[in-house]
Structure 1
Amino acid sequence: MGDHFAAAVRQFRLRAGLTQEALSDRSGVSVSTIRGMETGTRRNPQLASVRRLATALDLQPSELDELLATAAGVAEPAAIPVPRQLPAPPTPFVGRRHDLDRLDSALRPDAATGVVICTLVGTGGVGKSWLALEWAHRNADRFPDGQLFVDLQGFSPDSDPMDPAVALRGFLDTLGVEPERIPLAPHAQAALFRSLVADKRMLVVLDNAADTAQVTSLLPGAGTSAVVVTSRNQLSGLLTGQGAHHLSVDILTDAEAHALLAARLGAERLRTEAAAAAAAAAELLSLCGGFPLALSIIAGRAYLDPQLSLADVADELRRDTLDVLDDADPAASLPAALSLSHHALTGEEAEVFGLLAIAPGPDIASAAANSLTGRGQSRSRAVLRRLEQASLIGRDAAGRYRMHDLVRRYAAGAHDLADDVRTAALRRVLDHYTHTANAGALLLDTHRPPIELAPPVPGCQPEGLPDIPAAMDWFDAEHHNLLAAQQAAATQALHRTAWQLAWALNDFHYRKGHRHHQLAVWQNAVDSAAQLPEPGTQIIAYRLLGRAHVMLGHHPEAIAALNRALALSEQQDDRALQAQAHYTLASVWPDDRGALEHAQRALGLYQHLEEPIAEADALNAVGWYSARLGEHDAARVHCQAALALYRRHQDVNGEAQTLDSLGLIDHRTGNHRHAVRYYLDALGIYRHLDNIFEIADTLERLGHPYVALGNRDQARAVWREARDLYRRQGRDDEAEQLTERLDDRS
């Protein structure tokens, strides 16, 4: 370093054409001092002398910085205290065990890689700074050369983001660099900072960074230091350019949120309010959704007003969430915290942020978001990526976007969407769900008479579903959104859409055993169908509402709905709808003889309608009820005729139902091996169709011929599987009956 400084002084003097004596005369620095500087024998050049020399040599600012930085390296550093700049640790701090472990792993010193960097990223108020400071205090002893901290104010409510040069100057001051030794150029200051910490083991905490550019000059260049950066933005430049580790900070778990609320309120407060406090605390936790800042605001409100019960706080929060979480102090206001991220968005990004808030359901897939925004796949993806980078939305492993409930409430009011923009976006996303669901429904039952849909509105892009597994996967992923979409359609008086969504969900609900959802969507559909001019929609709605009641064992309600469907179909003289009503009435009739009569009436009507699949349905129903009445020969004839029709028209679902019926007939007539074969064939089809409702019933029936053949272990195995499926579907009575049968060792 000394030789380099000496060479620099000689170079500058010779370039200026000055002898040592002339330079001494011009600068006032003694000749002996200049000679010492030029030979490198003077190890501690006085900075005042260096500055006088620089003036005499007419150095440019960058040349002066070079000379000063070199001189600073030559000078003996003054003794300074080890910096301990960390603010006080958060109190109370609860949970985050997994995140602390991840930080331990990410910031483990590694001589091979040098400086390690970890970014903590999440939305405002989620607890990034708390986590960073908690880890920093727990691990302070790992950094004997000190800890540096700066709040970069990247999202401050009352100031612009801090100029990194200001933060850098603060670090240099802390490290004992005298003002006259600090270079003028920012890049030279950064170089000096890196030189000073190069051989040290330090922790640098950069809180609330706005972007990568604000951080890069504050990073050590070598050694075994560690850097923790918190931000609402993802700082992808640090990941790609610096190899930083990325840690996404999410909301608290239910247990952690409860612990934080209890720690803030105090155990005595909870004991005083006893049982009422427990219920109110549970509601507060639900309304705050694991958001640390929201929980802290609520706890502070309750703490400052001991006369305010937790039930009162919960009631206020339920009625006007964001107002309760607001405060004149921006540091204690969730809306203020969120507004800082919102204000950083472009107009287009802010509009999409507002549109996501009105999308039905708890999350949204990329394809549905394309329709919601109406911007096309490429542009929509770019805007969503920006919102994700700003930590206003999250994306899971399946690529689905989700917005925290509190962020959604803020977004719904923060961006004032024009009525026509809001209405058009909702129409596009509802059409997306309706058209995609309709296509999926027709895949699940290729013989089902289709309903007529208007073309999708401009900007709507329905998804293509290639086969049954893809359709079932899509329905599974979108189920809650489809339910919310139907409710939104009904609320917006889009009654045709509400009815169409119920129709499209029918087979999926049946296969998956979603009996309560099935009932709910058809109750909505009956109300919407009443507002439509076509009587057929109302008849279908009543019939399928009756079927939904059948699945839940609501026999009086089912019969009432089905009789209504039958009466309306007779008024319209619609024999197909009459046949459907009789066919469904058979499934709910309280005695098998009456059920058989309804099935026979349905068959008689279908045989004159040229609807082979519907005729096969009725044939199988007549066979089933005949078997239950002990009329096995007639039962077999009807079921074999149904099977032939199903196979001729390639209706595999109907084929499985009839194979199941033939299994029952053979079991009841003592042909147990044939019964097992029929049941197994039916199960193979049902498993391919992912029809767990029928799988459970067929498994239950399969156990009986196994017992008759002495295969009790096989019987118990299929009954256990059936019981588990019943439980998954909420069919508790059936599950309990099988549990009792399995517990019976006789």
Structure 2
Amino acid sequence: MPSGLRIDLLGPLAVRSGPADVSVGPLRQQAMFAVLALNADRVLTPEQLLDLVWDDDPPPSGIKVVPTYVYRIRKALPDDVRLERTTAGYILRLDPGVLDLERFETAIAAAGRVDEPEQALAIHDEALALFRGQPLSGLPGQYLAGQRRRIAERREKALGARIELQLAAGRHVEAIPELIGLVADHPFDERFAVLLMNALAGSGRQAEALDTYQRVRRTLVEQLGIEPGPELRAAQEALLRVDPAPPLVRNELPYGGAAFAGRSTELAQVVTALRPGQGSAPPVLAIDGMAGIGKTTLAVQAGHQLATHYPDGQLFVDLHGHTPGREPLGSEAAIDHLLRGIGVPAEKIPHCLEDRYALWRSRSARLRLLVILDNAPDAETVRKLLPGAPECAVLVTSRRLLVELDAKRRLGLGLLPMEDAVELLTELAGPGRGDQTAVQELAELCGRLPLALRIAGARLRHRPAWTVEHLNQRLQGSRRLRELDGDANGVRTAFAVSYEHLLAEQAQLFSCLGLVPGKDFDAAAAAALAGLAPVDAEQLLDQLVDASLLLELRPGRFEFHDLLRGYAAEVAEPGDGVLRLIEHYLAVGGAELGPAWADLERANLLACLDVAATQEWDDAVVRLALVLAPYLHTRGRLDEIDHVLTAGLAAAARAEDAEREARLLYLQGHIWQFRCGGDKGVTDLRRAAELAPDSAPELQARIFGSLGYTLGTQEPASDHSELLRTSLRLGQLAGDMRVVIETLGRLAALAVRQQEFTRALEYYERALDLARELGDERLEPELLNGIAVCRLAEDEPLPALDATRAAQRLAAEHSLDFSLSYALCHQGEAYRRMGRTKLAVEIHEQALTLAIENCTHLDEIDARLHLARSLRTARQAEAATAQYDLALRLSQDGQHTPGMVEALTGLADCTPDRVRAGRLLRQAHAQAAGSGHAALAARVERRLTPTALPS
């Protein structure tokens, strides 16, 4: 299956490639993709696609829009997904199992071939679990609406078949809640009514079953004017002949609650695992999770569904392992409760505790019991209370992972999905209290934690004047835990009990982690923060995870639940932990942050810088800024670069550290040069040159090299060579070959601007040899791109293509997105020169996409100019003109003369109006000459001869 591709239609459209989500674009584009997926491996003509996606309201461009949409979809998908263009139309080829709809249909068909009800039921459960909501929800068009209805009807048919299997397996109680909802949603579907009556009767609730018949009959008569059909009447007649079932023994299960949302998958897992007859020992299932996650609620719901399977009693014991203000229930009290629950009189309970355990095991061995041990403090307490027969079942809940407990299955509860959290809030607070966005925001502020959601819902219910938006405002910042507390069952109180049960060293680390500036961390970072050895920190982190006070969402990466992070910050004590953490990050990251490590830790490094800036830890701020800015530049994160450099320069000025202020000014000027051209960076570079001390020749070399190059791009006629020669001399004096290589590259680039390609090629090849001697592959792509430019200028596309391929490979390996964009530009140009125009257009479109993502004007201008040339060669003059226009506007915004000149000459080439073409060429010539770009002006002037165009 390509790229681990998954396409989910049984809910909102979702596309995943392995673990990563894939966005296929805006709504109408999603609709087209859904149409292609529903018709996978079938050719759809452009006319069919237009009709199926837009119905009777096509866009003004008509069928022309289809290739554009298909192209965007193809670019969004992994490279090995086959969305192909044939002579007849378009076809999306999918391997078996990619579509959830296909997996659903295959599973239902397989279930129909299975004779054993439980096995068929399990297959139905897996198939129906694929539905995540309304199929294709939110996608426009009549065709998709029809498909939505068809799939919904198929689901309802499968639901009916699954419920029939449930009843055949004797699982009547489990089926009732779902059937009640189905009958309410489908009041005229007699099949669901019959199933509900059978389920109620099988649970000993004949009166309710008969009442169901009367309600359904009344609906049919009053609204449709018809009597029930023969199947429904037969179900009623059968009920009238049945004696009521005898009552159950003792049911201690608490009330299941008026509001229960989500957890359908987990509930099914618990019920399936605890059905009788699954081994020679009592089935034991342990549910663990953080405070307020809904463990008890899930256990009680499962208990009610399992009740009929254990007719001798359903016992519930709260062991108070984490109850505010109470010590855990002692073993003596717990065993007494269980013995009384199976009918042992008080006078018959032995005085000796071991004899009580023996009596419990002996008596329970002859019974079919369901025992729920809630809020267990540890595994040892639970082990003593296990019954003595395989016909019994035990369900345990605990905040701790009870690793020592011999449980058949363990279930760790996570947060509610957003859809379920919104449903729970709406059910508790009532509809109409805020728009969907506000309710989702409230769910996030509650951390999608059921306890917090219930408290928030209750506050809204009891305060009719409040809106969801108002409560959201109250939950901002440090007030959040206070707003979600207030009584013995509040969120903070629940967290406090878990914290108080920690051992001293666990509690100390937990409180230290409250100082973490970022979101997640590894064991080494936690060790640095708390001043521990890494091995000790790792062990304690595992213990905090087992205590449900910390999450490990990925191996070795830890983070708090959002609300627990707030509680940890409350109990944290100020200290120098964050400074130790910053030192750790700087030591691990080194002078040049490795892209893979920095991508993982970027948010944490930025958060550390913000804390350090707030505390005015100037040395830490400057050191972080010096390593972060170059890394962020390679990743195109422009807003973050500005933030980092602003903070770093302020800290360096406060510290009166001239050298490091010069380094930061150099970085700022250098980066601005690449982003928007030279004008923005000159002031910073000149100020950096003033501040840089003679004791730092490497820094001076970098500043003079960048300044010389910048002035050379601004004022081509000026003598900038002295600055560049100074840069070379200082770089050699400092023994810094990287500076020498960079300066040679700048000399080459300026020679290219002056159309001196032979001299430029000499500089580039000399610099490339030095880079390879140095062994730093990250320096090579920019030089290889320059070599490609020179080869193309000498009309040698094959050597240029070789250079761009090498540059592309190295840039991709080292995540150098800027160099990759340029490599693709020159590679496409080489293919254009070789006559492979279609391939050139595709490659230049890739280069433009990457340049836009990099957020740099110069990259985007260059990519648009290359794409425009390829489009013009492909005789797509209108599309080429559009790209030249955009490149011209961007060049004018950035005062980028070469871009303006090339865009104007390109527009002249695209227009059939020779008078307008001459006007554009004269405008280009004036721009080049007026800006001192003599070589550019001469090149344009050659096209302005009297025989070429009219004056």
Query: For 1:608, what is the secondary structure of its paired residue?
Result: helix
Query: For 1:710, what is the secondary structure of its paired residue?
Result: coil
Q: Does 1:231 align with 2:390?
A: no
Q: Which residue of 2 aligns with 1:658?
A: 783
Q: Which residue of 2 aligns with 1:518?
A: 641
- Asked if 1 retains the 8 angstrom alpha-carbon contact of 2:705 and 2:723, the reply is yes
Q: Which residue of 2 aligns with 1:8?
A: none
Q: Which residue of 1 aligns with 2:467?
A: 309
Distance 1:330 1:668 in 2: 78
Q: Does 1:295 align with 2:471?
A: no
Residue correspondences, number: 621
Distance 1:698 1:300 in 2: 59
- Asked if 2 retains the 8 angstrom alpha-carbon contact of 1:264 and 1:296, the reply is yes
Scaled by the length of structure 1, what TM-score is found? Answer: 0.76
Shift in CA distance, 519/118, structure 1 to aligned 2, threshold 3 Å:
farther
Q: Does 1:607 align with 2:733?
A: no
- Asked if 1 retains the 8 angstrom alpha-carbon contact of 2:318 and 2:375, the reply is yes
Q: Which residue of 2 aligns with 1:648?
A: 773
Q: Which residue of 2 aligns with 1:155?
A: 322
Deviation at 1:690, TM superposition (A): 3.1
Match of 2:590 among 438, 441, 446: 438
Q: Which residue of 1 aligns with 2:606?
A: 483
Q: Does 1:424 align with 2:603?
A: no
Match of 1:371 among 497, 512, 528: 528
- Asked if 1 retains the 8 angstrom alpha-carbon contact of 2:256 and 2:301, the reply is yes
- Asked if 1 retains the 8 angstrom alpha-carbon contact of 2:285 and 2:407, the reply is no
- Asked if 2 retains the 8 angstrom alpha-carbon contact of 1:652 and 1:685, the reply is yes
Deviation at 1:573, TM superposition (A): 9.9
Q: Which residue of 2 aligns with 1:508?
A: 631
Q: Does 1:197 align with 2:364?
A: yes
Query: For 1:661, what is the secondary structure of its paired residue?
Result: helix
Q: Does 1:285 align with 2:443?
A: yes
Q: Does 1:692 align with 2:817?
A: yes
Task: Report the aligned-residue RMSD.
Answer: 3.2
- Asked if 1 retains the 8 angstrom alpha-carbon contact of 2:514 and 2:571, the reply is no
Distance 1:117 1:625 in 2: 76
Q: Which residue of 2 aligns with 1:621?
A: 746
Letter in 2 for 1:476: D
Match of 1:262 among 426, 449, 456: 426
Letter in 1 for 2:427: A
- Asked if 1 retains the 8 angstrom alpha-carbon contact of 2:288 and 2:399, the reply is yes
Deviations 1:501-536 (A, max 9, x none): 122234433443333333322221111111223311
Query: For 1:204, what is the secondary structure of its paired residue?
Result: strand
Query: For 1:246, what is the secondary structure of its paired residue?
Result: strand
Deviation at 1:557, TM superposition (A): 4.7
Q: Which residue of 1 aligns with 2:826?
A: 701
Query: For 1:269, what is the secondary structure of its paired residue?
Result: coil
Letter in 1 for 2:575: T
Query: For 2:576, what is the secondary structure of its paired residue?
Result: helix
Deviation at 1:144, TM superposition (A): 4.1
Q: Does 1:682 align with 2:807?
A: yes
Letter in 2 for 1:304: H
- Asked if 2 retains the 8 angstrom alpha-carbon contact of 1:582 and 1:598, the reply is no
Larger RCO, structures 1/2 (Cα 8 Å, 6+ apart) = 1
Q: Which residue of 2 aligns with 1:568?
A: 691
Q: Which residue of 1 aligns with 2:413?
A: 249
Unpaired runs of 5+ in structure 2? 1-245, 877-951
Distance 1:738 1:396 in 2: 45
Distance 2:283 2:670 in 1: 62
- Asked if 2 retains the 8 angstrom alpha-carbon contact of 1:704 and 1:715, the reply is yes
Deviations 1:676-716 (A, max 9, x none): 10011122222332323422332233122123223346445
Unpaired runs of 5+ in structure 1? 1-78, 271-276, 445-470
Q: Which residue of 1 aligns with 2:288?
A: 121
Between the aligned residues of both structures, percent identity stands at 29
Shift in CA distance, 335/593, structure 1 to aligned 2, threshold 3 Å:
closer
Distance 1:587 1:254 in 2: 53
Distance 2:352 2:720 in 1: 91
- Asked if 2 retains the 8 angstrom alpha-carbon contact of 1:599 and 1:621, the reply is no
Match of 1:213 among 354, 374, 380: 380
Q: Which residue of 2 aligns with 1:323?
A: 482
Q: Which residue of 2 aligns with 1:452?
A: none
Deviations 1:85-131 (A, max 9, x none): 22122332222344335435644656345422222212211222222
- Asked if 1 retains the 8 angstrom alpha-carbon contact of 2:370 and 2:394, the reply is yes
Distance 1:581 1:334 in 2: 56
Deviation at 1:413, TM superposition (A): 2.0
Letter in 2 for 1:317: L
The worse-fitting range, judged by mean Cα deviation, of 503-512 and 359-368 is 503-512
Mapping for residues 361-400 of structure 1, pairs under 5 Å:
361-400=518-557
Scaled by the length of structure 2, what TM-score is found? Answer: 0.60
Deviations 1:219-244 (A, max 9, x none): 23331433221111111111xxx144
- Asked if 2 retains the 8 angstrom alpha-carbon contact of 1:325 and 1:335, the reply is yes
Match of 1:544 among 663, 667, 685: 667
The worse-fitting range, judged by mean Cα deviation, of 179-188 and 711-720 is 711-720
Shift in CA distance, 608/739, structure 1 to aligned 2, threshold 3 Å:
closer
Deviation at 1:432, TM superposition (A): 0.7
Deviations 1:233-285 (A, max 9, x none): 111111xxx14422222222333322222222211323xxxxxx555434433
Query: For 2:325, what is the secondary structure of its paired residue?
Result: coil
Deviations 1:404-455 (A, max 9, x none): 232122122235x3xxxx323222212111211225x2xx6xxxxxxxxxxx
Q: Which residue of 2 aligns with 1:90?
A: 257
Q: Which residue of 2 aligns with 1:580?
A: 702
Distance 2:538 2:342 in 1: 45
Distance 2:519 2:587 in 1: 20
- Asked if 1 retains the 8 angstrom alpha-carbon contact of 2:705 and 2:727, the reply is no
Deviation at 1:157, TM superposition (A): 1.2
Distance 2:334 2:853 in 1: 57
Shift in CA distance, 711/737, structure 1 to aligned 2, threshold 3 Å:
same
- Asked if 2 retains the 8 angstrom alpha-carbon contact of 1:190 and 1:218, the reply is yes
Q: Which residue of 2 aligns with 1:402?
A: 559
- Asked if 1 retains the 8 angstrom alpha-carbon contact of 2:286 and 2:407, the reply is no
Deviation at 1:739, TM superposition (A): 13
Query: For 1:620, what is the secondary structure of its paired residue?
Result: helix
Q: Which residue of 2 aligns with 1:342?
A: 499
Shift in CA distance, 714/369, structure 1 to aligned 2, threshold 3 Å:
same
Query: For 2:414, what is the secondary structure of its paired residue?
Result: coil
Query: For 1:355, what is the secondary structure of its paired residue?
Result: helix
Deviation at 1:740, TM superposition (A): 8.1
- Asked if 2 retains the 8 angstrom alpha-carbon contact of 1:664 and 1:675, the reply is yes
Shift in CA distance, 193/318, structure 1 to aligned 2, threshold 3 Å:
same
Deviation at 1:481, TM superposition (A): 1.1
Distance 2:662 2:368 in 1: 77
Distance 2:728 2:607 in 1: 40
Shift in CA distance, 640/378, structure 1 to aligned 2, threshold 3 Å:
closer
Query: For 2:790, what is the secondary structure of its paired residue?
Result: helix
